[in-house]
Amino acid sequence: MQALRKHIHPGWLIIAPLLAMVALLYLGPILNILWLSITDPTPGLGNYAKLGESDALVRILWTTLRICLITTVFSVVMGYSIAYAMIHCHERQKNYMLTLLLVSFWISILVRTFAWLMLLGRRGLVNVTLEDIGLIAEPIAFMRNELGVLIGMVHYMIPYAVLPLLVSMQAMDKRVLDASRNLGATGRQTFWRIYLPLTLPGIVASTLLVFIFSLGFYVTPAVLGGGKVLMVAEYISVQLLVTLQWGTAAMLAALMLFGVLAMLWIMSRFMKLSTVFGGAAR
């Protein structure tokens, strides 16, 4: 016992409860799912072979990837604009901006989805207003299609995109910009050749973060897609809760999991992961 104590730091004693809980109740079943993907219903790579056979599966994967990519591009560009404005304005204005950002971060996902449902429907506020002022004759279909899903997802992801960007812009040495201007570069040159490259780690972190969160997004696509836009997360839930096919669902989950872990690995090369998530805490 004494010898053991010498080798093991006493700190591990208070780490152990959470570690054991996560390992047993979380990692365990996740490994079990990975196992299922190659054993259910029959052992082998049958589930993965379905990717080559079933057009429906490929279409779902493709829809998911496409929507996630578009969401990520829009969220990061818009997030960059917000973060840039926040860093380069007076303290007071910055605080107001931060308040709006955090409030939107905190509003329940269900409230937001409900709001979009009211706004974007055929007789929703947006269509009614546009018709009243005579901009459109027919209601625009915002829902039950990819447009609606994209609006809802970008709206949800923008705050997540802003936070890593804020961290990286804040950490930058502003004197570099003055130096660039003093050496005769125009504002635009300074931005494209100095500012943007220096914030690249933040951009990468924010891109991967938003992409990862989009991949498994369930609520908004399910409601705003209205069954017309089928993404992986919703497909998994149908497989499990309706048709009770664990094999296919497990295979899709395994693909998603490996994708996410690969992206995390890339991300960890650019930024300390805890800074990204620590940023969200403030």
Partner 1 sequence: MKPGLFSLFNRVGAWVLLLFLVTPALIAIPVSLTPKRFLSMPEGELSLRHFQKLFTSPEWLSSFFQSGVIAVSTAALATVLGTLCAIGLWRVSSKYSELVRAFLLLPLIIPQIISAMAFYRLWIPLGLLDSYAGLILAHTILAAPMVLITVSASLATFDPKLEQASKNLGASNWTTLRRVILPSIKPGVFAGALFAFILSWDEIVVTLFISKFTIFTLPRRMWNGIRENTDPTVAAAAVVLIALTLVAFVVSAIISRRNEKRATS
Among 56, 69, 109, 200, binds partner 1 (CB under 8 A): 109
* Contact criterion met (CB below 8 Å) for 64 and 232: yes
Rule CB under 8 A: choose which of 61, 97, 140, 172 binds partner 1.
Answer: 97
191 belongs to the binding site for partner 1 (CB under 8 A): yes
* Residue 124 and residue 224 in contact, taking contact as beta carbons nearer than 8 Å: no
Cis omega (within 30 of 0) on the bond before 41? yes
Smallest distance from the beta carbon of 42 to partner 1, in angstroms? 19
Binding test (CB under 8 A) with partner 1, winner from 112, 172, 238, 245: 112
d(Cα 250, Cα 210) in Å, to the nearest integer? 23
Any contact of residue 56 with partner 1 (CB under 8 A)? no
Per rule CB under 8 A, is residue 249 in the interface with partner 1?
A: yes
By CB under 8 A, is residue 21 in contact with partner 1?
Answer: yes
Nearer residue to partner 1 within complex by CB, 38 or 260? 260
Residue closer to partner 1 by CB (options 101, 229) is 101
From 40-48, 82-90, 165-173, 197-205, span contacting partner 1 (CB under 8 A): 82-90
Of the candidates 281, 263, 276, the residue with the CA atom closest to the CA atom of residue 201: 276
Total number of residues binding partner 1 (CB under 8 A)?
88
Does 266 contact partner 1 by CB under 8 A?
A: no
Residues 6+ apart with CB under 8 A from 133: none
To partner 1, the closest distance from the beta carbon of 228 in angstroms equals 15
23: how many CB neighbours lie within 10 A of its CB?
Answer: 10
69 near partner 1, judged by CB under 8 A: no
Binding partner 1 by CB under 8 A: which of 241, 242, 244, 269? 241
Torsions phi, psi for 136 (to 5 deg): -130, 150
Secondary structure letter of residue 230 according to DSSP: -
CB 137 within 8 A of CB 146: no
Residue 177 sits in the site that holds partner 1 (CB under 8 A):
yes
- CA-to-CA distance for 47 and 33, rounded, in angstroms? 13
